[in-house]
């Protein structure tokens, strides 16, 4: 089944409350996906710096990772994850250091502003463990998982990130992910897990690397991805939604002067400010919706 | 004015207030299910529905339930006798498998509105999503807006009246049911064809307008009728590709 949520703020005064709002939406979707959860938040960032989200087993001490990279590396730990902020010119060095010296640490996301957290467990517990309610940002997406296509593991949880500041959550199942996976590998994109949704994320990253905008990449997916899907995707400045042409998987959106919100069900949106007077609608099948802060 | 709204305005009716911010849907439905057959008509006002599922599902008493806001999945599902009014949007499967009674959604309805319903009347003031009236078996559905793709798929009996437009594959694999659409139809499904709108159908449409409380405001001649070509009832090798 799975539940997905997304929130894109138009009103900067709400930015300190992004995590609180997104966490509340995610909590309501627990019963659509109780086995694991994850979210990505587009928070603060500085030009010339990159944020790497790291993950390690419970109880892991990330401090030596920061120490190994010396001055200029900042580290903020949240439960099993830590965000390493470093000059973007040192990204390759940092990845190399982590790969060679810290076998238990995985880089799960990278970008100027994106931070990405996911874990096995009840979604509301996952959100609490990462202190989502205290996070601020401009937009974020989240997922509550009921596994169908691959095992219940942290690696199988959403969101998936396959490019800088890019991430995706998916409700549905893709039937041609094996063949798309081979196409991606030929194009030089490696897919790390058996999960069909990671293939979708990789596909969109590949299209955008080829010069397509987020909206255009989503258009392309209608031709190339087969199966059931509702995707919500985030980029550094944008937020997009698409449903497959049959629209098997549910989706409701709400828009006010202050925000655009997405939920698998209206219940997820019911606690948002001003929802009583918001424009509420179901996104149409095979139609791309996206909002961009840079536009 | 609908029958339910008229009843709601009758001050002598016994009224119950139920706040879903304080009590559960299960409590509400248990109280409604406990009403004995033949019990007096009463009015139940339900506050704070917040898209919760299965509100007023499985009723079998001549009561009126007013849901003051958006309802979630399967609101008024399996309804018998009751009038259920949703003052907002309704989620997937509103009035699914309704047997009798009256369900009125004042906003939009999601997918599969009135699915498999055997009887009663479902009125939707806004749009309905995909698969409206899928496998309908006798219900009368009136949608004042438009309907999504694959509506009236495998419809068996009843009427679906649409004031706006219909999406792709209307009436795919339809058995018997009358589909009336005033606007455009994006495409017709397998074995669904346009049919002549005769006086008996104008009369039937007028009756549907009356059910929706808008009789006399619209000319039935503006509608077009669609139904089964009856070519898929029995296996025929020439139709193999259509099965």
Nearest to A267 among B52, B110, B148 (CB): B52
Shortest distance, CA A148 to any CA of chain B (angstroms): 22
3-state secondary structure of A192: coil
Cα separation of the two ends of chain B: 44
Report, as ranges of residue numbers, the positions in chain A whose pLDDT lies below 50.
none
- On whether both A141 and A222 belong to a single domain, the answer is yes
Q: CATH number of the domain at B3-242, please? A: 2.160.20.60
The number of folded domains in chain A is 2
- On whether both A173 and A76 belong to a single domain, the answer is no
Q: Which residues of A touch B129 (CB under 8 A)?
A: 247, 282
Taking only the tens place, the pLDDT of each residue in B49-68 is 999 999 999 999 999 999 99
- On whether both A141 and A252 belong to a single domain, the answer is yes
pLDDT exceeds 50 at position B1: no
Domain closes at, from A66, A95, A112: A112
pLDDT band for position B5 (cuts 50, 70, 90): low
Spatial distance between the Cα atoms of A147 and A2, rounded to a whole number of angstroms: 8
Domain range for A70 is 45-112
For residue A271, CA distances in Å to A122, A254, B51, B89 come to: 20, 12, 10, 16
- On whether both A34 and A51 belong to a single domain, the answer is no
Could you please report the per-residue DSSP string of chain B? --HHHHHHT-TTSEEEEEETTTS-HHHHHHHHHTSPTTPPPEEEEEE--TT-TTTTTT-BSS-EEEE-S-B-TTTTTT-BS-EEEESS-B-TTTTTT--SSEEEESS-B-TTTTTT--SSEEEESS-B-TTTTTT-EEEEEEESS-B-TTTTTT--EEEEEESS-B-SSBTTT--S-EEEESS-BS-B-TTEEEE---HHHHHHHHHHHHHTT-TTSS-GGG-EEEEE---SSS--GGGGGG-
Q: What is the CATH number of the domain that holds A100?
A: 3.30.70
pLDDT exceeds 80 at position B37: no
Is B147 at the interface with chain A, CB within 8 A? no
Could you please report the per-residue DSSP string of A139-191? EEEEEEE--SSS-SSTTTSSPEEEETTEEEEEEEEESSHHHHHHHHHHTT---
Nearest to A266 among B89, B111, B129 (CB): B89
Domain closes at, from A112, A138, A159: A112
- On whether both A107 and A249 belong to a single domain, the answer is no
- On whether both A191 and A87 belong to a single domain, the answer is no
Q: What is the CATH number of the domain that holds A32?
A: 3.60.20.10
pLDDT exceeds 80 at position B239: no
- On whether both A34 and A81 belong to a single domain, the answer is no
- On whether both A75 and A195 belong to a single domain, the answer is no
Is A280 at the interface with chain B, CB within 8 A? yes
For chain B, the domains span 3-242
- pLDDT reported for residue A51: 97
- On whether both A36 and A98 belong to a single domain, the answer is no
Q: Do A267 and B50 touch (CB under 8 A)?
A: yes
Q: Do B92 and A250 touch (CB under 8 A)?
A: yes
Q: Do B51 and A285 touch (CB under 8 A)?
A: no
- pLDDT reported for residue B235: 77
- pLDDT reported for residue B9: 53
pLDDT band for position B148 (cuts 50, 70, 90): very high
- On whether both A145 and A175 belong to a single domain, the answer is yes
Taking only the tens place, the pLDDT of each residue in A113-160 is 999 999 999 999 999 999 999 999 999 999 999 987 778 999 889 999
Instruction: Please indicate whether residue A2 is annotated as part of the active site.
Output: yes
Is A44 at the interface with chain B, CB within 8 A? no
Domain closes at, from A73, A95, A112: A112
Is B112 at the interface with chain A, CB within 8 A? no
Q: Which ipTM did the prediction report?
A: 0.87
- On whether both A65 and A180 belong to a single domain, the answer is no
- On whether both A93 and A149 belong to a single domain, the answer is no
């Amino acid at each position: 089944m799975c539940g997905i949520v997304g929130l894109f703020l138009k009103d900067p005064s709400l930015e300190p409350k992004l995590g609180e709002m997104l966490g509340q939406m995610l909590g309501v979707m627990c019963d659509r996906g109780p086995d694991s959860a994850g979210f990505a938040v587009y928070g603060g960032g500085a030009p010339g710096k990159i944020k790497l989200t790291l993950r390690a087993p419970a109880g892991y001490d990330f401090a030596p990772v920061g120490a190994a990279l010396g001055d200029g590396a900042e580290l903020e730990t949240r439960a099993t994850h830590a965000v390493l902020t470093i000059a973007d010119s040192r990204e390759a060095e940092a990845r190399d250091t982590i790969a060679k010296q810290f076998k238990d640490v995985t880089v799960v996301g990278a970008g100027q502003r994106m931070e990405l957290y996911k874990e096995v467990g009840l979604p509301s517990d996952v959100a609490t463990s990462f202190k989502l309610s205290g996070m601020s940002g401009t937009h974020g997406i989240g997922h509550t998982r009921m596994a169908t296509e691959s095992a219940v593991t942290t690696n199988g949880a959403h969101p998936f990130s396959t490019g800088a500041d890019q991430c995706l959550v998916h409700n549905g199942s893709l039937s041609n992910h094996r063949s798309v996976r081979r196409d991606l590998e030929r194009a030089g994109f490696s897919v790390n897990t058996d999960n069909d949704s990671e293939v979708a994320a990789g596909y969109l990253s590949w299209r955008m690397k080829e010069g397509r905008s987020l909206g255009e990449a989503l258009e392309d997916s209608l031709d190339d991805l087969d199966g059931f899907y509702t995707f919500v995707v985030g980029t550094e400045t944008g937020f997009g939604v698409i449903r497959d042409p049959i629209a098997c998987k549910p989706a409701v959106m709400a828009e006010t002067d202050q925000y655009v919100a997405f939920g698998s069900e209206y219940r997820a949106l019911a606690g948002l400010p001003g929802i009583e007077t918001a424009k509420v609608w179901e996104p149409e099948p095979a139609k791309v919706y996206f909002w961009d802060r840079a536009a | 004015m609908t029958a339910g709204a008229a009843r709601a305005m009758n001050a002598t009716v016994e009224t119950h207030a139920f706040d879903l911010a304080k009590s559960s849907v299960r409590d509400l439905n248990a109280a409604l299910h406990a009403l004995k057959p033949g019990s007096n008509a009463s009015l139940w006002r339900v506050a704070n529905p917040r898209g919760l599922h299965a509100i007023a599902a499985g009723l079998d008493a001549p009561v009126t339930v007013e849901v003051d806001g958006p309802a979630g999945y399967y609101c008024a599902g399996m309804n018998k006798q009751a009038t259920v009014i949703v003052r907002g949007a309704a989620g997937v499967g509103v009035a699914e498998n309704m047997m009798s009674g009256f369900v009125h959604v004042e906003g939009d309805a999601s997918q599969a509105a009135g699915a498999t319903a055997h009887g009663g009347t479902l009125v939707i003031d806004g749009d309905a999503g995909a698969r409206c009236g899928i496998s309908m078996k006798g219900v009368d559905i009136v949608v004042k807006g438009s309907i999504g793709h694959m509506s009236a798929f495998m419809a068996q009996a009843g009427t679906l009246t649409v004031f706006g437009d219909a999406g792709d594959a209307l009436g795919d694999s339809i058995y018997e049911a009358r589909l009336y659409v005033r606007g455009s139809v994006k495409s017709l499904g397998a074995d669904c064809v346009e049919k002549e709108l005769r006086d008996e159908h104008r009369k039937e449409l007028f009756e549907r307008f009356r059910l929706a409380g808008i009789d006399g405001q619209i000319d039935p001649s503006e509608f077009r009728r669609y139904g089964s070509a009856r070519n898929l009832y029995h296996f025929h090798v020439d139709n193999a590709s259509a099965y």
